[in-house]
Chains A and B, each alone.
Chain A
Amino acid sequence: GQNIDQPTEMTATEGAIVQINCTYQTSGFNGLFWYQQHAGEAPTFLSYNVLDGLEEKGRFSSFLSRSKGYSYLLLKELQMKDSASYLCAVSDSNYQLIWGAGTKLIIKP
């Protein structure tokens, strides 16, 4: 079967750095997405990785290792507004998105 694993919840301190991991087992791989979802709102696109390595976008970076079936989202200089759920999704061999259950990130002052 296809599976995406993420931690259910993480807590971090304002101004710090946090890394949210995602491991996947899918039939084929056509890229990995990260989305941010604030409580009661729609998911919004953060990043896309299809090749191994690190992609940086401001305070957010996303890393992919296809051989390990592993990705992480790195958030630097955490702000209170970063409190949200972070969703990992993999595009499989049929270009269907397989979604993880999401990681709820709690930021404390």
Chain B
Amino acid sequence: DAGITQSPRHKVTETGTPVTLRCHQTENHRYMYWYRQDPGHGLRLIHYSYGVKDTDKGEVSDGYSVSRSKTEDFLLTLESATSSQTSVYFCAISDSEDSGSPLHFGNGTRLTVT
């Protein structure tokens, strides 16, 4: 299995507080992604990175920011958490942007915003 670790695994926070989720990989893969998964929806891309300090927005990026200062770490920050950001967050990696290259996912972070 691809070496991807997400932390924390569970987080409960209050509305308006900042939250940072961490994704760490040991595969030296270039591409890293943050998704959220909500009932009744497909996985939705928040942000992705194609290299150190190279990031771009996905379809649901509002309210989120990311940073990638090292190949192995990709951080997702909610500057001021809202209840609509209660979700399960998955980090994923791939070694290529080629269409056939599958994503490998971390075990997810369950975030609850009260």
Contact = CB atoms under 8 A, between A and B. Distances in A.
Contact of A95 (B43, B97, B106): B97
Contact of A99 (B43, B97, B100, B106): B43
B42 A89 contact: yes
A92 B42 CA distance: 15
A21 to B, nearest CB: 15
B105 A42 contact: yes
B44 interface: yes
A87 B43 contact: yes
B109 to A, nearest CB: 11
Interface string B34-73: 0000001111110000000000000000000000000000
A44 B97 CA distance: 18
| Chain A interface residue bracket vs B | 20 to 34
Contacts of B106: 42
| Chain B interface residue bracket vs A | 10 to 19
Contacts of A96: 45
B84 interface: no
B13 to A, nearest CB: 20
Contacts of B107: 41-42
Contacts of A42: 90, 105-108
Interface in A78-98: 87, 89, 91, 95-98
Most chain A beta carbons < 10 A, residue from B40, B102, B104: B102
A95 B99 CA distance: 6
A48 B98 CA distance: 12
15 contacts: A31-B100, A41-B107, A42-B105, A42-B106, A42-B108, A45-B102, A45-B103, A50-B99, A91-B99, A95-B97, A97-B103, A99-B43, A99-B44, A100-B42, A101-B41
Interface of A: 4, 30-31, 33, 41-45, 48, 50, 87, 89, 91, 95-102
State the 5 A-B residue pairs at the shortest beta-carbon distance, nearest first.
Answer: A99-B42, A30-B99, A42-B105, A45-B102, A99-B43
